[in-house]
Amino acid sequence: MTLRIDVITLFPEMFGGVLASSILGRALREGRTEVVLTNLRDFAGDKRGTVDDKPFGGGPGMVLLCEPLYRAVEAVRGQDSRRGLVVLLTPQGERLTQGRVRDLAGRERLILVCGHYEGFDERIRPVADLELSVGDYVLTGGELPAMAVIDAVVRLLPGVLGAEDGTREESFAAGLLEYPQYTRPREFRGMAVPDVLLSGNHAAIAAWRADQAKARTRARRRDLLGEAPDADG
């Protein structure tokens, strides 16, 4: 069965270009997955389409209402017999990792919920099975994070990438950064391609790449090696 991804958002038009382009566009056209966009505005309780209100207790900004969102999740749920994992995109969520992406790619249905404005009513939290964050910074909405989740998940689905790229995923799965890559020309502005890559010695090339991946991970992301991060974080 192919993965169905539902997105509940106030800005479905933001997804158009991303879902139509490149690898994601092809995967969708080939039916390797299905993305269904639902406009939260359609579940407002009034004709004006109200989906937010001022926070109790005062303070700046607007807060997403519970009612429209619960109605939207329930309606979307009812469109398919698969229950689906409801995922709320928020900076307060679990940090998205490749391991979590693999988990999501193995499911039958995801329902991604995008907040917007300054925040959502706390009582929205229980509708979600999982809260995910794409990083420690604040965006204006969950749409870009939802697109990041869709992109990362869809590229892992069977048939979406060529066999070659499957191995690239394994490198990160092994907890290492990618080794450096080069293509033509052999020398560019004084920067030469390492000799070993032109040697035709496949064992030596594999050893060099493994070494580079390890060294680069140690230099840039010691945390991935299970060691203490350096002074920069």
Least distance between ligand 4GY and beta carbon 95 (Å): 9
For residue 8, count other CB atoms closer than 10 A to its CB: 28
Stretch that binds ligand 4GY, among 45-53, 76-84, 86-94, 121-129 (CB under 6 A): 86-94
3-state DSSP call for residue 105? helix
Tokens of 7: 């997105």
User: How big is the site for ligand 4GY, counted in residues (CB under 6 A)?
Assistant: 18
- Does residue 138 touch ligand 4GY according to CB under 6 A? yes
- Does residue 115 touch ligand 4GY according to CB under 6 A? yes
Least distance between ligand 4GY and beta carbon 123 (Å): 14
- Does residue 119 touch ligand 4GY according to CB under 6 A? yes
Contacts of 31 (CB under 8 A, 6+ apart): 2
Q: Which is nearer to ligand 4GY, 39 or 171 (CB)?
A: 39
- Does residue 141 touch ligand 4GY according to CB under 6 A? yes
109-114 and 187-188 beta bridge pairing: unpaired
Q: What is the dihedral of CA 120, 126, 128, 130, to 10 degrees?
A: 100
For residue 32, count other CB atoms closer than 10 A to its CB: 16
- Does residue 126 touch ligand 4GY according to CB under 6 A? no
Contact by Cβ (8 Å): 205, 199: yes
Q: Which is nearer to ligand 4GY, 114 or 176 (CB)?
A: 114
- Does residue 142 touch ligand 4GY according to CB under 6 A? yes
Q: What is the dihedral of CA 59, 65, 66, 72, to 10 degrees?
A: -150
Q: Which is nearer to ligand 4GY, 139 or 197 (CB)?
A: 139
Q: Which is nearer to ligand 4GY, 31 or 58 (CB)?
A: 58
* Residue nearest ligand 4GY, Cβ-based: 115
Interface residue with ligand 4GY, options 16, 45, 99, 135 (CB under 6 A):
135
The DSSP code for 141 is B
CA distance 9 to 47: 18
Q: Which is nearer to ligand 4GY, 133 or 171 (CB)?
A: 133
Residue 151: burial class (beta carbons within 10 Å; 0-12, 13-18, 19+)? middle
- Does residue 55 touch ligand 4GY according to CB under 6 A? no
The contact set with ligand 4GY (CB under 6 A) reads: 89-91, 115-120, 133-135, 137-139, 141-142, 145
